[in-house]
């Protein structure tokens, strides 16, 4: 068991995610080059940048899809570099995807129940022979999934197939499924992509709500500046895989370099 | 969810149990013909094969074309054990249990071995690998010496010479259904289906994909092996010729016909295909025998078109058996459609 030493920021708040000089290289292309992140507990942190800046690649590094060429990262002080996606999830990093990835042929509630699977143990033998443990755990999955769906206002759709949900609700279901794995850090990859202004507003409310309700830290990739300006506390701006700016949302968004990268001169 | 012990979950056990009881009554009263008993054995074996393949193809979403290979392993090794033990233990239940255990475990080991590449291979490539596996197994047994597994002559097995052997076959079908159905309707089954639907998301949701893929392949192979042991018990001689890729395809056809991921569908289509094969063979004799495969293929194509063709969508919805039975479900489906169109 590796030694876990919690890291604290200067103001005494715990640092949930610390990424140290993350780099990944695909052949000659440095997709992510020397990215540092320090996200405090309970913070809502934004990761923005033009298309192809390497934002999703950072997510893929943090969730174990890719292994960093260089650099390490720590979740609550525990070094998670090089773990597999499933292990990463068990340790407490959950994510959503830019292009929605639901279990389309499962019902809405089953999608969430899949997320809960690691929290209530029930082994294969117990399930196949329908031992009491199985019934108890199934009941618990169902009840906890229903509770989560209520938080996201999806409970009335619980028996629908996930594929049959409207787009905005599929996005919410993806967040609900990620929340079901009881993460310490939630990574949201462009949650508002393709949403209309009403849906975006609703999503912002949901994000603020789960942040308070579950006391969770969120790292968010987003293009919608209204959403970023509205809810993020701190930002890192990426451009061509490197950090362009880091700091409080308002100052970063007024940074001339950032405006140049986004809008051009 | 549904109530935890709703009748619907047990309907296939009940139907198969009922059929067995009726057949037993018929055979006790002497109405059941010996040929029908043989047909029942055949049906039971096909059901086991179809349900076990359905676990890999329908639920795990991996295309496997080597199911006959697992059956072959079970048939040969189980048959050999039976042949050895028949002398000291007698050709009874005890020998059968030992044969089943050996055949099932050996097939399971093969399932594990074929599951390993399956972790890295996708779609067509895995299909080719499993196809090759089936052929390799068959060829190995074909080239064994006469004393070991009979080689080209085939393995002589002690046929279980009791008319009621089909009862044992149906008990095995019930065991297969019990295990596979309970697995599917649990958190493990949800994980398996989640991998089928979206492997990347499944990993990100904390599912150990490696573990569940191996479980799927091993269990599927075990039950195919058990079906193989039963098969060897219905014959005097097991020949590796029948376990060719056509046989694997036939099982796959049964699964596809019954609907992917639909166990009850697999059962019905296993019965249907076995009947169809036999009746066609009975009707078409002499020169007409060549027509058998053609008619068989045409019927299968017609069913697949009926089930999937977009042009027939309206027709299907109008005459849907499911909707006739449950109006409520139909209403829910249409409201789902409405929600979808709204957006």
Q: Is the minimum CB–CB distance between B202 and chain A shorter than 8 Å?
A: yes
Sequence-distant (6+) residues with CB within 8 A of A187 are: A59, A62, A63, A93, A94, A95, A96, A218, A219, A220, A221
For chain A, give the percent of residues with pLDDT over 90.
52
Q: How far is CA B22 from the centre of its chain?
A: 23
Nearest residue, CB atoms, A142 vs list B1, B198, B343: B1
Residue-level pLDDT at B337: 57
Contact B186 A63 (CB under 8 A): no
Q: Does B3 touch chain A (CB under 8 A)?
A: no
**Which residue of chain B is at minimal alpha-carbon distance from A165?**
B340
CB contact under 8 A, B204 and A85: yes
DSSP for B124-140, written as a single string: HHHHHHHHHHHHHHHHH
Query: Which residues 6+ apart lie within 8 Å of B46 measured at CB?
Result: B251, B254, B270, B271, B273, B274
Structure tokens at B85: 């033990």
**Hey, is A224 helix, strand or coil?**
coil
CA distance B165 to chain A (A): 26
| ipTM computed for the complex | 0.91
All structural domains of chain A, each given as residue ranges with its CATH number in brackets, are 1-92+183-265 (3.40.50.300), 100-182 (3.40.50.300)
As a whole number, mean pLDDT of residues B216-236 equals 94
Percent of chain B at pLDDT exceeding 90: 46
Check A127 against B203: CB less than 8 A apart: no
* Cβ of residue B168 closer than 8 Å to a chain A Cβ: no
Tens-place pLDDT, residues B241-295: 899 888 999 999 899 888 888 899 999 999 999 988 888 888 887 777 778 778 8
Phi, psi (rounded to 5 degrees) for A68: -65, 140
Nearest Cβ partner of A103 from B4, B201, B203?
A: B201
pTM (2 decimals)? Answer: 0.88
With 60 as the cut, is the pLDDT of residue A260 above it?
Answer: yes
Q: Can you give the pLDDT at residue B1?
A: 42
Contact A85 B203 (CB under 8 A): yes
Which A positions 134-173 lie with beta carbon below 8 A of chain B? 134-135, 137-139, 141-142, 157, 159-161, 164-168
Question: Which fold, B7-261?
Answer: ABC transporter involved in vitamin B12 uptake, BtuC (1.10.3470)
Q: How far is B206 from chain A (nearest CA, A)?
A: 4
Domain ranges, ordered by start, for chain B: 7-261
Confidence bin at A229 (pLDDT 50/70/90): confident
Local structure of A246: helix, strand or coil = strand
- Measured between beta carbons, the chain B residues lying within 8 angstroms of A84 are 203
* A106/B186 Cβ within 8 A: no
> What residues in B contact A89, CB-CB < 8 Å?
203-206
Q: What is the pLDDT at residue B8?
A: 64
Q: Which residues contact A156 (CB under 8 A, 6 or more apart)?
A: none
Q: What pLDDT shows up at residue A5?
A: 78
Give residue-wise pLDDT tens across range B127-185.
999 999 999 999 999 998 888 888 888 888 877 767 788 889 999 999 999 999 999 99
| Average model confidence (pLDDT) across chain A | 89
Helices (H), chain B: 11-28, 34-54, 67-89, 93-118, 123-142, 165-184, 187-197, 199-204, 209-233, 245-258, 263-283, 291-308, 313-318, 321-325, 327-342
Question: Which DSSP letter does residue A82 get?
Answer: T
Per-residue model confidence (pLDDT) at position B2: 43
Give the number of beta-carbon pairs within 8 Å between A and B.
Answer: 114
Q: Which of A114, A130, A177 is opposite residue B191, by nearest beta carbon?
A: A114
The pLDDT value recorded for residue B341 is 53
CB–CB contact A118 B187 (8 Å)? no
Q: Hey, what are B23's tokens?
A: 């057949």
**Mean pLDDT of all residues in chain B?**
85
Query: CB contact, 8 Å: B329 with chain A?
Result: no
Nearest alpha-carbon partner for A242 in A66, A40, A57, A27: A57
Q: How far apart are CA A221 and CA A236, in angstroms?
A: 10
Confidence of residue B3 (pLDDT cuts 50, 70, 90): very low
Tell me which chain A residues have a C-beta less than 8 angstroms from the C-beta of B197. 102-106
Lowest average pLDDT, out of A32-46, A107-121, A189-203, B151-165, goes to B151-165
Rounded to an integer, the average pLDDT of A197-206 is: 87
Residue A159: predicted pLDDT: 93
Q: Which of A128, A161, A182 to mutate to test the interface with B (most CBs of B within 10 A)?
A: A128
Residue A228 in this model has a pLDDT that exceeds 90? no
Note the pLDDT of residue B342: 52
Report pLDDT digits (tens) over B16-48.
888 888 888 887 777 778 888 888 999 999 999
- Average the pLDDT over each of A23-32, A38-47, A86-95, A226-235 and give the range with the smallest value: A226-235
Determine the pLDDT at residue A1.
47
């Amino acid at each position: 068991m590796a030694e876990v030493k919690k890291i604290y920021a200067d103001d005494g708040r715990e640092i949930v995610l610390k990424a140290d000089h993350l780099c990944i290289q695909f052949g000659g292309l440095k997709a992510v080059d020397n990215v540092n992140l320090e996200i405090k507990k309970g913070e809502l942190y934004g990761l923005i940048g033009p298309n192809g800046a390497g934002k999703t690649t950072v997510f893929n590094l943090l969730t174990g899809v890719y292994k960093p060429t260089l650099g390490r990262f720590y979740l609550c002080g525990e070094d998670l570099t090089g773990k597999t996606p499933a292990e990463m999830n068990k340790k407490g990093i959950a994510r959503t995807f830019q292009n929605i990835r639901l279990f389309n042929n499962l019902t809405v509630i089953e999608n969430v129940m899949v997320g809960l699977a690691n929290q209530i143990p029930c082994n294969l033998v117990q399930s196949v022979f329908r031992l009491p443990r199985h019934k108890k755990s199934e009941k618990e999955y169902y009840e906890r999934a229903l509770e989560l769906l209520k938080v996201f206002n999806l409970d009335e759709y619980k028996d629908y197939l996930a594929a049959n949900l409207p787009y905005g609700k599929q996005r919410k279901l993806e967040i609900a499924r990620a929340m079901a794995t009881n993460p310490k850090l939630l990574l949201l990859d462009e949650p508002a992509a393709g949403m209309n202004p009403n849906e975006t507003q609703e999503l912002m409310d949901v994000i603020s709500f789960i942040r308070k309700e579950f006391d969770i830290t969120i790292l968010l990739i987003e293009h919608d500046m209204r959403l970023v300006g509205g809810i993020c506390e701190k930002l890192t701006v990426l451009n061509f895989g490197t950090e362009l700016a880091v700091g409080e949302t308002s100052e970063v968004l007024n940074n001339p370099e950032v405006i140049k990268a986004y809008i051009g001169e | 969810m549904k109530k935890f012990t709703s009748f619907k979950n047990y309907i296939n056990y009940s139907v198969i149990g009922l059929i067995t009881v009726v057949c037993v009554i018929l055979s006790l009263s002497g109405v059941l013909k010996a040929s029908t008993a043989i047909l029942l054995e055949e049906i039971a074996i096909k059901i086991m094969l179809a349900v076990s393949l359905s676990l890999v193809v329908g639920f795990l979403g991996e295309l496997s074309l080597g199911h006959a290979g697992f059956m072959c392993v079970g048939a040969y090794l189980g048959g050999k054990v039976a042949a050895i033990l028949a002398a000291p233990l007698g050709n009874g239940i005890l020998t059968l249990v030992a044969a089943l255990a050996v055949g099932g475990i050996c097939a399971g080991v093969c399932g594990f071995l074929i599951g390993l590449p399956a972790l890295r291979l996708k779609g067509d490539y895995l299909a080719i690998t499993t196809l090759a596996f089936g052929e390799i197994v068959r060829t190995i047994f074909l080239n064994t010496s006469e004393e070991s597994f009979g080689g080209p002559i085939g393995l002589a097995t002690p046929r279980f010479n009791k008319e009621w052997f089909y009862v044992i076959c149906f008990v095995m079908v019930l065991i297969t259904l019990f295990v596979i159905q309970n697995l599917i309707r649990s958190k493990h089954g949800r994980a398996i289906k989640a991998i089928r639907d979206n492997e990347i998301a499944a990993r990100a949701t904390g599912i150990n994909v490696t573990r569940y893929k191996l479980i799927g392949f091993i269990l599927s192979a075990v039950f195919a092996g058990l079906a193989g042991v039963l098969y060897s018990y219905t014959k005097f001689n097991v020949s590796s010729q029948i376990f060719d890729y056509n046989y694997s395809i036939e099982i796959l056809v049964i699964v596809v016909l019954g609907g992917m991921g639909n166990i009850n569908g697999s059962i019905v289509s296993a019965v249907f295909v076995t009947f169809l094969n036999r009746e066609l063979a009975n009707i078409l004799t002499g020169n007409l025998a060549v027509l058998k495969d053609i008619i068989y293929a045409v019927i299968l194509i017609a069913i697949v078109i009926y089930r999937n063709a977009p042009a027939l969508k309206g027709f299907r919805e109008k005459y849907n058996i499911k909707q006739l039975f449950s109006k409520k479900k139909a209403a829910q489906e249409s409201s789902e459609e409405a929600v979808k169109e709204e957006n």
